[in-house]
Structure 1
Amino acid sequence: MKYKNNFNPSISDEVIFDEILEEKKSIGYYNLPFCSTADYKTYAKTVTQKNIVVIGIGGSTLGTYAIYKFLKHSRDLDKNLLFLETTDPIDIKAKVASIDLSDTLFVVISKSGTTVETIAIFKYINALITCNSTNTVVVTEDGSKLKTFAEKNNIRSFKIPKNVGGRFSVFSAVGLLPLAIVGIDIDKILQGAQKSHDNFFQKKEAYERLLKKARFLVEYKNSFNINVVFSYSSRLEGFNKWYIQLWGESLGKVDSNSVRQGLTPVGIIGPIDQHSFLQLVIEGKRDKTLTVIKVENFDNDLKIPSVTLDGLEEMDYLDNLNFSSLIKNQADATIEAINNLHDIPCDVITIEGINESAIAALMYEFELLTSLCGKFMHVNTYNQPGVESGKVILKNKLNKGDI
């Protein structure tokens, strides 16, 4: 007798946690917060170039960009960090034209070493300037063709562990190396990730919170399939993009019973999207959960000046209000409006300030949440066969000259 089912009965928190502990032995991202930063900091001290250009795509850039975007306006950085991550020719030309190539270090990142977009852009850069040991560093997996290229040309390389997937790699050389080079404190980054790690694995507050959220998202996925992250700071725009890749590529899978699964990620920014997407959340179909991310301390005292505008005197109640206070109140008003409806699942995350530890703790928690959802959904969180099939088709077309 043959038997097949898609019941996937609810699993206890303890069973899920035990599965995560077992997975932790082979999936490398869990332990990245405890890696040594010495080599990255030593290399960073040798870099004299003003412009640092990361050549990569997806997991090779999004996490780094998320942290850099969050911190750069609060740090006195003497180097510029740019990302060449798309094959859009207009974007490539514009970014290249904006920098002095002779004063640029190129950080080429590809786990496989043969990422089409990355190598295509790197070829273009090599046509403009000679890339060698003085202006290029490589981040890749041992044994990759990019690693071979680096060895043949005496170019320094840093390793991406084989058991760390790209979208989970921000706390490896992928993120730590370029961030160290531009002057961001990578030790504080890892300290933030360590806090989230310990809080969860020591079964403290994060353990209860993340398991509860993951269970709800999966058990109610047929009712609330769209998961909206509403970040109340433009500095979190990079985080939103990183979250969308992490969530979509990890959880959009066929499960162990051949049933298609997935939770659709949406990232929006407040207060901008109060005037667009929030309307859909409030009065649209009840198929969305909402996570509001607030920043407690913007480390900025910019105020609305006491200026009376003829005909707009009724708006003088804004005078002398800090912009940081205004945006926090806008977030609170949105949260209250959502909660008053009683039928939109909503949680609120408050980041204590604009610092390395805060953004790293947030990102590590989202990585943990992704892994937990994957366990509840009975999917392989760490592969991406849907993406790989497109890569194969593209390479076959290009090899045949079918363009």
Structure 2
Amino acid sequence: MTMSSTALTSRLFEPARLGALHLPNRLVMAPLTRNRASADGIPEPIMATYYAQRASAGLIIAEASTPNAVGQTYPDIPAIYNDAHVAGWRRVTGAVRAAGGTMFLQLQHGGRIGHPDTTGLMPLAPSPVAFPDPIFTPGGSRPGVVPREMTVAEIRSTVADFAAAARRAIDAGFEGVEVHGGNGYLIHQFLSEATNHRADAYGGSAAGRIRFAVEVVEAVADAIGPARVGLRIAPGVTANAMREHDIERVYPALVGALANKGLAYLHVVFADPAQPLFHRIRGDWPSVLIANPALPWPTPFPADGGRYAGERLLAAGADLISLGRAFLANPDLVERFRRGAPLNPVRTEHWYGGGELGYTDYPVLAAQEDRDPVVV
């Protein structure tokens, strides 16, 4: 193993502010579904080890957690809608805090990306538009089902569930929450005309399609304070069979509707500084902007872990940079970047489910150096 003995300088290592929080660097661990909670959504002890290993990130955004039972997407994902979930997450946040880290929790409702074989419930969505691909369930892959169109009463109760989940997240020791508005899940389904065919106040125009997202964010902000709330968006991203044809209208409208709410941050997924929409969003958003430069799977994992792309986004106006796969495989990613050290390869076969293999067993520099002395 060889590495430079000279520490690398970069804005990634500068301290930053996030509301009242002081972050030691500008690197954010992006939320990553790993399917290692219990069958009823309680975080397992191994999850505390996993996140504590990565506590050197400026901010950790913990993996997508469902705010109610019907919002569950896949087996063994965590939840945050009862006391047992709070207790499980409290073990995780305690371990991360003891290691010097800071955590938010991502709140995600799957919408049409759910299955009765997983939840025992029929999925709810803006419109009865089935997910076109197979969905993984406890019994294996199953065809997507046609979700039931949400009534206005169900929309309002779901908004209330997000707010209650946010309060529970604070009780569990998180510093705040991120509302997941991207990657083809429920809020994203409301934003897209391909999955939202409603003729009422929650559909049709851009103003109608952003209404659910705005109501969720406002309710969460009312519940725990806006400085503890972030929103993640994914304009034009095709994950989970999403299609969007008017992102230049929808996302500026959404950003404009929330710009004066005092939120902690906006998190833009697959941000591209070469695209005008990124600069429009940056110009319209008054507080912290987190940018995620990752490319959709199966784009090869970059050898530098996304560092160069992250630095380009900082230069283009982002405040913080979120990385997923790089943190997954490198618990000490900040130190590896700082020292210009090689990165561990990502073992994709262990992404979802299982135990410590491919989860908590990735080596850190000190352990590697014990086996393979550094050449300088």
Q: Same fold (TM over 0.5)?
A: no
Bigger Rg, which one? 1
Q: TM-score, normalised by structure 1?
A: 0.25
Q: TM-score, normalised by structure 2?
A: 0.27
